């Protein structure tokens, strides 16, 4: 097939803007001999969106459906004007078709636009229409300020998407020069399961509650068209299941408003396919037998993502290896051993992963190169296999712990991640009672060999003042001391999250050392995934006695997903480690669930333990002061922690600095009203040019997170 034929079959089109519109559409699309159909015949239930704004192009998107569902194509008219008024001749006036092959979605790459310009666009079917706004990027040498918001993790059943409404209202209150130019979405546009207890909204006591939409209907994901189950988990299994999720999630009025207001630059994380995924492998448990090669699911998930998330992939400006989704024939075949690059070369895995490539970069003026990576499709298996969870927990003296990807022993992760290269090429057969099942494995990887080479070349070649890295999972080390006196001795030093870069420390050190040795400065990493706000400095090698600061990281909490703190609060119930996560200070007029997890990460295990003990003295502030003074900070690179949060991030980039904000909203579980959810706090930061260690926490407006 010719490329244009394929694109039209997939609901994708390319049109060029003109100085004058086509001007020959005397009738609207769908008009018949008896005139246009009545208003209300067609609807746009997922709204409109635009994506990947470049200097002269942007992708426009919508989905249309008829009042009477049909498999027939629906004719759409697309008009684009510069500015806000349609009382001028459109620069695009094009008729296109939305077909059942793409679930009646369309994506239109509009080219030949003017740089650094605002545009309005509308799609019309019959007498029904919908309008959106977008803009293009400035020229690469334009000395302009750049304002970026970033988001992730919008679990439909865990909360409303009011963080987008907050973002819109916050933006309206800003001076015009500080208003958002585009939004980066770092993944988890959808969640692939329905009915999971933890992926439901939680009340003030972190117990599941039922959400209601503004019309009084329950906010739940309706049953999947097909679906599949593992125990109590029901998950998407076919392309129709994944489409079902996008249709549900993107019907939320606040995400619709945000997508209609700004262009988005998106990548996927895990839940667009399956939780904690690597390549095309799924898992829904703590044992190896629940790991499941899922090449067919991966392909279906990629197709639905391509249909519902507007991006420019194939044909984007260099440096570019991205490509549009292309159908493939795959089977769910057992995985073979990984190759030397730690990629599983089993043909069905190769085909499923190769069907679509999303890592890419975008330039926005003189000061911003935005580099977006894919940290799921090419990563190797987690350093500690799920089947070793019980052994690892027993080694720490715990019969029950969190799960095989959280609170992991640092020395085991480090040795396992290094594989056959550990200990100078002589890896140990075991670490204490834990057998080294990775002693013949390649070194762990998050990016994969090809993407890593592209990333290094892109960073090295860019002459932008600042390199913003759209990074899906946390990069900074989140360290917890293990060998401490008393009943809370954890046996090993720990890391918080083995699914993040802490679980792939060898490649993290390689990349950050590369930035240092190649003198690639002014890298700011924008991160999602963690359901918490963090800010800190990235060091080239956290295991070095004298690590060097090379970049800064800002991690934004999820739009609606349950917080990191709520996960640990739930998982620690009944365990001896619970006081490290939360303590009850309600007898002193404080919270029943004080976020001692913040104290643990900012000041260490001795401080977290001391706080709970010192509360017996009856003075909350005195207990906090005693705890903070009890030990040195084990994570001196971390500037800010807010583990019990939902919200978004915002940065303002100039030639001399990056000003950042982490906005924590009120828990988004109340039935939506016309008002915004409200900000509980806004933390602001400054990152000076050429000085990552100079990053500062400037202020926290509102109620600061404990223990600040």
Domain ranges of the chain: 1-136, 137-380+442-563+645-702
Three-state SS for 52? Answer: coil
Distance from C-alpha of 341 to C-alpha of 436, rounded to nearest angstrom: 20
The pLDDT-based confidence of 399 (bands split at 50, 70, 90) is very low
Has residue 490 got a pLDDT over 80? no
The pLDDT-based confidence of 34 (bands split at 50, 70, 90) is low
pLDDT at 2: 40
pLDDT at 10: 67
- Give mean pLDDT, residues 665-689: 90
Has residue 33 got a pLDDT over 70? no
The pLDDT-based confidence of 27 (bands split at 50, 70, 90) is very low
Strand partners, 133: 120
Please indicate whether residue 201 or residue 299 has the higher confidence score (pLDDT). 299
- Give mean pLDDT, residues 367-387: 94
pLDDT at 198: 67
- Give mean pLDDT, residues 362-384: 97
Three-state SS for 515? Answer: helix
- Give mean pLDDT, residues 233-252: 96
pLDDT at 1: 28
The token pair at 248 is: 């549900």
Mean pLDDT of the chain: 91
The per-residue pLDDT for range 211-227, each reduced to its tens digit, is 998 888 999 999 999 99
The per-residue pLDDT for range 188-198, each reduced to its tens digit, is 999 999 877 66
Distance from C-alpha of 671 to C-alpha of 680, rounded to nearest angstrom: 18
CATH, domain 1-136, list 1.10.4190.10, 2.40.50.140, 2.60.40.380, 3.20.10.10: 2.60.40.380
Q: Phi then psi for 571, rounded to 5 degrees?
A: -70, -25
- Give mean pLDDT, residues 657-680: 90
Q: Is residue 525 exposed (0-12), middle (13-18) or buried (19+ Cβ within 10 Å)?
A: buried
Has residue 165 got a pLDDT over 80? yes
Three-state SS for 254? Answer: helix
pLDDT at 409: 87
Three-state SS for 593? Answer: coil
Distance from C-alpha of 208 to C-alpha of 638, rounded to nearest angstrom: 32
The pTM for the full model equals 0.95
pLDDT at 562: 93
Whole-number Cα distances in Å, 3 to 61, 228, 326: 19, 35, 11
pLDDT at 285: 56
Please indicate whether residue 210 or residue 196 has the higher confidence score (pLDDT). 210
- Give mean pLDDT, residues 452-457: 98
Q: What percent of the chain has pLDDT over 70?
A: 92
pLDDT at 388: 80
Strand partners, 431: 434
pLDDT at 215: 87
pLDDT at 489: 63
- Give mean pLDDT, residues 89-106: 96
pLDDT at 20: 43
The per-residue pLDDT for range 245-290, each reduced to its tens digit, is 999 999 999 999 999 999 999 999 999 999 999 999 998 755 555 6
CATH, domain 137-380+442-563+645-702, list 3.60.21.70, 3.40.50.1980, 3.40.50.300, 3.90.25.10: 3.60.21.70
- Give mean pLDDT, residues 158-182: 97
Has residue 179 got a pLDDT over 70? yes
The per-residue pLDDT for range 145-157, each reduced to its tens digit, is 999 999 999 999 9
pLDDT at 291: 76
Q: In sequence order, what DSSP letters do the residues of 274-312 get, joined into one string?
A: -TT-BTTEEE-SSSGGGEEE-HHHHHHHHHHHHHHS---
pLDDT at 400: 47
- Range from 75-89, 198-212, 223-237, 333-347 carrying the lowest mean pLDDT: 198-212
């Amino acid at each position: 097939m010719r490329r244009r034929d394929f694109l039209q079959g997939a609901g994708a089109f390319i049109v060029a803007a003109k100085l004058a519109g086509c001007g020959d559409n005397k009738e609207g699309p769908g008009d018949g001999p008896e005139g246009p159909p009545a208003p209300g015949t067609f609807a746009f239930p997922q709204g409109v969106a635009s994506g990947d704004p470049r200097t002269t192009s942007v992708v426009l998107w919508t989905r249309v459906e008829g009042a009477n569902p049909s498999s027939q194509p629906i004719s759409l008219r697309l008009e684009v004007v510069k500015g806000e008024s349609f009382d001028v001749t459109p620069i695009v006036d094009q008729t296109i078709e939305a077909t059942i092959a793409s679930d009646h979605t369309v994506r239109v790459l509009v080219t030949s636009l003017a740089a650094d310009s605002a545009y309005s666009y509308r799609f019309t079917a019959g007498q029904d229409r919908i309008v959106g706004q977008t803009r293009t990027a400035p020229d690469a040498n334009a000395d302009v300020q750049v304002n970026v918001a970033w988001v992730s993790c919008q679990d439909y059943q865990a909360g409303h998407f009011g963080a987008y409404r907050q973002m819109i209202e916050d933006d309206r209150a800003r001076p015009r020069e500080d208003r958002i130019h585009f939004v980066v979405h770092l993944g988890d546009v959808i969640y692939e399961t329905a009915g999971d207890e933890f992926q439901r909204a939680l009340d003030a006591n972190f117990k599941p509650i039922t959400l209601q939409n503004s019309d009084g209907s329950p906010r739940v994901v309706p049953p999947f068209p097909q679906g599949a189950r593992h125990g109590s988990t029901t998950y998407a299994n076919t392309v129709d299941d994944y489409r079902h999720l996008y249709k549900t999630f993107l019907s939320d009025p606040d995400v619709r408003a945000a997508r209609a207001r700004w262009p988005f630059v998106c990548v996927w994380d895990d839940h667009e396919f399956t939780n904690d995924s690597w390549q095309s492998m799924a898992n829904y448990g703590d044992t190896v037998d629940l790991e499941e090669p899922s090449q067919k699911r991966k392909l279906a998930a990629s197709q639905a993502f391509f249909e519902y998330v507007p991006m420019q992939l194939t044909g984007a400006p260099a440096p570019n290896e991205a490509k549009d989704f292309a159908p493939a024939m795959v089977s769910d075949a057992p995985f073979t051993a990984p190759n030397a690059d730690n990629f599983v070369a089993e043909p069905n895995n190769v085909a499923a992963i190769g069907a679509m490539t999303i890592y890419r970069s975008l330039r926005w003026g003189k000061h911003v190169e935005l580099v977006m990576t894919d940290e799921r499709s090419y990563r190797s298996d987690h350093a500690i296999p799920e089947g070793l969870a019980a052994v690892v927990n027993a080694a720490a003296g715990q019969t029950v712990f969190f799960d095989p990807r959280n609170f992991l022993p640092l020395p085991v992760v480090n040795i396992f991640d290094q594989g056959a290269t550990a200990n100078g090429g002589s890896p140990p057969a075991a670490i204490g009672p834990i057998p080294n099942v990775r002693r013949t494995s390649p070194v762990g990887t998050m990016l994969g060999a090809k993407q890593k080479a592209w990333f290094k070349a892109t960073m090295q070649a860019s002459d932008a003042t600042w390199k913003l890295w759209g990074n899906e999972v946390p990069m900074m080390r989140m360290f917890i001391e293990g060998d401490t006196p008393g009943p809370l001795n954890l046996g090993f030093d720990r890391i918080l999250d083995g699914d993040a870069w802490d679980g792939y420390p060898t490649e993290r050190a390689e990349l950050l050392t590369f930035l240092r040795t190649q003198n690639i400065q002014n890298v700011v990493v924008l991160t999602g995934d963690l359901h918490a706000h963090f800010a800190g400095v990235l060091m080239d090698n956290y295991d070095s006695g004298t690590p060097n600061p090379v970049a800064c990281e800002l991690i934004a909490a999820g739009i609606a997903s349950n917080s990191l703190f709520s996960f640990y609060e739930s998982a620690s119930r009944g365990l001896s480690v619970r006081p490290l996560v939360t303590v009850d200070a309600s007898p002193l007029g404080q919270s029943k669930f004080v976020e001692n997890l913040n104290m643990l990460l900012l000041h260490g295990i001795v401080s977290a333990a001391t706080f709970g003990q010192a509360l017996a003295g009856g003075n909350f502030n005195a207990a906090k002061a005693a705890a903070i003074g009890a030990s040195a900070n084990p994570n001196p690179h971390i500037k800010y922690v807010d583990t019990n949060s939902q919200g978004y991030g915002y940065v303002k980039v100039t030639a001399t600095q990056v000003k950042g904000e982490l906005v924590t909203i009120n828990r988004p579980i109340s039935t939506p009203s016309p008002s915004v959810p409200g900000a509980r706090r806004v933390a602001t930061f400054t990152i000076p040019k050429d000085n990552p260690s100079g990053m500062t926490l400037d202020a926290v407006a509102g109620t600061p997170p404990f223990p600040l």
